[in-house]
Amino acid sequence: MSVSQVSLFNEHSRIVQALYYNESLSSTDISVFIGKSIPHTIKVLNELVKDGCIELRGYASSSGGRRPMKYSLVADDHFIISVAMSQFNMRIAALDMNNRFINEGTEHYFDIHHLQADELIHYINTFIQEAGLNKNNVLGVGITMPGFIDPDKGINYSFLEIPNQSLVEYMQQNIGLPVFIENDSTAIALGEQKFGVARQQNDALIVNLGWGIGLGMIVDGKIFRGHSGLAGEFSHIPIVKNGKLCLCGKHGCLETESSLIAIAAKANAEIEQGQTSSLVKYEQIDADAIIKEAIKGDTLSVKLISEAAYTVGQGIAILIHILNPAVIVLSGKASVVGRLWLSPIQQAINEHCIPRLAHGTELLISDLNDKAQLIGGAVLVVENIGEPLSKKLNELKKEVSI
Amino acid sequence: MSVSQVSLFNEHSRIVQALYYNESLSSTDISVFIGKSIPHTIKVLNELVKDGCIELRGYASSSGGRRPMKYSLVADDHFIISVAMSQFNMRIAALDMNNRFINEGTEHYFDIHHLQADELIHYINTFIQEAGLNKNNVLGVGITMPGFIDPDKGINYSFLEIPNQSLVEYMQQNIGLPVFIENDSTAIALGEQKFGVARQQNDALIVNLGWGIGLGMIVDGKIFRGHSGLAGEFSHIPIVKNGKLCLCGKHGCLETESSLIAIAAKANAEIEQGQTSSLVKYEQIDADAIIKEAIKGDTLSVKLISEAAYTVGQGIAILIHILNPAVIVLSGKASVVGRLWLSPIQQAINEHCIPRLAHGTELLISDLNDKAQLIGGAVLVVENIGEPLSKKLNELKKEVSI
DNA sequence: AAAACTTTTTAAAATTTTAAAAAATGTTTG
DNA sequence: CAAACATTTTTTAAAATTTTAAAAAGTTTT
């Protein structure tokens, strides 16, 4: 493949991206998106129509002038596999080029600490087979999971380490498709940015209310990772004075007070002390139980979530001062009870932010619910088509600093 | 001026930028910097040599092959005026195209709350005249000052407001040169990034230890401002439990404990309570007095700075978790006693950061000292040549979002 | 029905890159 | 010690790409 073909391919992929994020666009829109002239854009669009991956969808309306042609992706020309993992489970789904789920997907349970890459590969290959997908029509597999992940090198440093090889390389060899990996919170942020309430936002913070408190940051329209990929360690900022030792070894981390794990621990303690609550009927009081009872209105569950939320709000107040985001999105597992989190967090923001900042920041609840991570996995693939890992690694090596 | 000429001009200005930040570069270096092919780069370079703003500086060494020609800016072809203001004073200096001060500069004292734009204009015009500079050879004037500033609109919302006009417009009309404004902490960050210890860094935090605690953030190689330009409000993050009311109206702001103003207030209180200290000899104990005595080893002064530093360190620990910077630079007025700040801050980082993050972040003291802001003002001009305000405003209006 | 406006098409012009040759220099080898 | 070779930069000319400008084609408003 010559260099000119590569750059052409990337131009194509930019157009595919534009259309994946928008049902249909005019040639002018696409021309702006890819930063090329209209004649050139139209030439490329025609090629893609001939290729069969883009179709014409009639004319858009006009405010007084010739009506523009609408271009869209052909929905079933290609598909994307998205794999969303948490510490304890994984879901696999397939999406078409209109970002729609083409089936119900499958779910598997495990403890990620004991999960083997081969198991993961087996689940994915089985899924592709059972969904009846032809691998030639699959753009790629987006795997999103907890851990400290380098998406460019294709390595998860926390889980699923493969000796002498990157996880992505190993997966690609055994699945026969392009594979991309990303951190779960980051994936949720991607999903919210492209298809959720953070759509169109260049400066957004997406809080992943889950087993821990994850944070995905969109800075200047792009996912922000920091110098060594560790940025967004929100759940370990030292702002709590409860003396509890965190798993990370430090005291005072936000997650010792506000994660679902911390909330569950508190619930168990309170119940033991004889607190009345509909939680008593559970054999093991875990996050799912608390969320379930909180929805039903159990006082203790609601109280515990509210308290945790206020502490998270204090942390968010600090984030706002430093990053001045346009929106903050509450997403992730626990955001299904988003209403319960919202007002304590908003109150903490009002109490701890300078007014100009508090007013300039919108606090929103995800409307993607538990789909955010799966959608983020699909976005991950779309964002990376046209940039195979090998090319990225070459760039990393070349990187010249003047 | 046709559009093609504009883009050519911007290409020229990219080359000027590359050479302003580097004493000399080869055509290959410049080609990489501006992202164009070597033949094209050499063509443009020849034009600039003919123009007289770039000169040849002989050959660089080679690791085995033809030696590359070194290109440099002609030092006295153009000059830059930099104006560095604080709340209480301003310095004016002129720099040549090698980033060297061409004279001693001048200094004026005032309270910025009562400063008039006309006064500022008078100082600048007088300076240019007395320095014997021809305005045709001055690239522009970079004014850096406290306040909430929108550099694109050319407005300082906190000070020096001009009715019905932007400050920059007014200044340009009365000085007859391109004028650019920027926040003081941001300017210091620019200076440190291009010429200081944060050189080459894409992810750096520059702490401006001054009357307040300023913060300039370099994210992905660029100054980060947030959604509405308020990012980096480090001095108002709520992390102190001292009950003191901050000027911003909130309790618990970092600056109630750690700014030079807070330190001076504490010193006065301690002296009144009969503490022994070489500070007693001062009529008014202000920041300058404390810095002076701390250098001499006065126990009280050192103690107060150390305490403040530890609190700043707690704040920095939070910044590190969120932003994962490669380096943190202590700069600004109070960084002349940088050694005193260093170890309490480092200790707070070690205590409050997860180890992987603490180890990945270098804490450095500025070597530009009080020159950082002036140099930042010059960088401000260099960064903006080729992009006149009017063009920027047009772009702001056009900004299409898909 | 004319005027105003927007999108699309076309063809010429301008820009930029590619590829190959030439020039210059350090390293290796006989 | 010099010739051969590997490397790197510079030059050249042809090829490819992309843009500009102007004309044409549709729509809405007046």
Is B394 part of any domain?
Answer: no
Looking at the 3D structure of chain B, how many domains does it have?
3
In a domain, residue A38? The reply is yes
pLDDT of res. A394: 47
What SS3 class is residue A291?
A: helix
A63 and A149 co-located in one domain: no
Is some CB atom of chain A closer than 8 A to the CB atom of B33? yes
Above 90 in pLDDT, residue B226? yes
Q: Are B161 and B201 contained in the same domain?
A: no
Q: Are residues B234 and B292 in the same domain?
A: yes
Could you tell me if B151 and B85 lie in one domain? yes
> What does the alpha-carbon distance between residue B250 and residue A313 come to, in Å, rounded to a whole number?
16
Residue B377: its pLDDT value, please? 98
| A41 and A163 fall within a common domain | no
User: What's residue B9's pLDDT?
Assistant: 60
CA nearest neighbour of A369 among A326, A337, A346, A325:
A337
Tokens of B65: 């092959």
Helices (H) and strands (E) in chain A, counts: 14, 14
Domain boundary pick from B51, B73, B95 = B73
Assigned domain for B397 exists: no
The shortest C-alpha distance from B187 to chain A (Å) reads 17
Comparing A388 with B80, which gets the higher pLDDT? B80
Is there a single domain that holds both residue B170 and residue B206? no
Q: In the prediction, which pLDDT does B388 show?
A: 53
pLDDT attached to residue A287: 83
**What average pLDDT does range B277-286 have in this prediction?**
86
CATH of residue A9's domain is 1.10.10.10
Nearest CA to A21 out of A95, A102, A109, A83 is that of A95
pLDDT at position B64 is: 75
Q: Distance between CA atoms of B223 and B186, rounded to whole angstroms?
A: 7
Within-domain flag for B388: no
Last residue of a domain, one of A44, A73, A102: A73
Give me the amino acid identity at B245.
Answer: L
Using CA atoms, how far apart are residues A14 and A35, in angstroms rounded to an integer?
A: 10
Most confident of B256-270, B289-303, B312-326: B312-326
Instruction: Tell me the CB-side half-sphere exposure of residue A194, using CA atoms within 13 A.
Output: 29
Q: What is the predicted pLDDT for the residue at A3?
A: 29
B395 CA, D19 C1': separation in Å? 20
Exposed, middle or buried by CB within 10 Å (0-12, 13-18, 19+), for A68?
middle
Of A138, A161, A187, which residue constitutes the final position of a domain?
A187
Q: What's the average model confidence in pLDDT over B353-377?
A: 94
Report the mean per-residue pLDDT for chain B.
Answer: 89
Q: What percent of chain B has pLDDT over 90?
A: 65
What three-state secondary structure class fits A198? coil
B218 with B338, same domain?
yes
Residues B122 and B253 reside in one and the same domain:
no
Please indicate, yes or no, if residue A399 is contained in any of the structural domains: no
DSSP letter at B66 equals: P
Q: What is the mean pLDDT of residues B269-280?
A: 88
Statement: residue B179 has pLDDT above 90: yes
User: Nucleic chain C: which protein residues 48-87 of B have CB below 7 A from it?
Assistant: 59, 61-67
The domain containing residue A177 runs over which residues?
79-187
pLDDT over threshold 50, residue B398: no
B52 found inside a domain: yes
Using 70 as the pLDDT threshold, list the residues of chain A that sit under it. Answer: 1-9, 387-402
- CATH number for the domain including A256? 3.30.420.40
Task: Return the pLDDT at B387.
Answer: 62
Confidence of residue B4 (pLDDT cuts 50, 70, 90): very low
Q: Render pLDDT for B236-263 as a digit per residue (tens, 0 to 9).
A: 998 888 878 888 888 888 989 888 888 9
Considering the domain architecture, whether residues A87 and A183 belong to the same structural domain is answered as yes
Q: What angle do CA B127, B128, B131 make, to 5 degrees?
A: 80
- B176 and B276 in a single domain? The answer is no
**Number of Cβ within a 10 Å radius of residue A58:** 9
Amino acid at A19: L
pLDDT at B5 over 80: no
Residue B309 covered by a domain? yes
Same domain, A152 and A272: no
The pLDDT tens digits for B127-161 are: 999 999 999 999 999 999 999 999 999 999 999 98
Mutate which of B157, B205, B323 to test chain A, going by most A C-beta atoms within 10 A?
B323
Q: Are A354 and B229 inside 8 Å of each other by CB? A: no
Is the same domain home to A226 and A347? yes
Q: In the complex, which nucleotide's C1' lies nearest to the CA atom of residue A7?
A: D17
Quick check: B81 pLDDT over 90?
Answer: yes
* Domain membership flag for residue B375: no
Match 């088509």 to its residue by tokens: A385
On the 0-12 / 13-18 / 19+ scale of CB atoms within 10 A, A360 is: middle
DSSP three-state, residue A90: strand
Q: Which structure tokens are listed for A199?
A: 């759509």
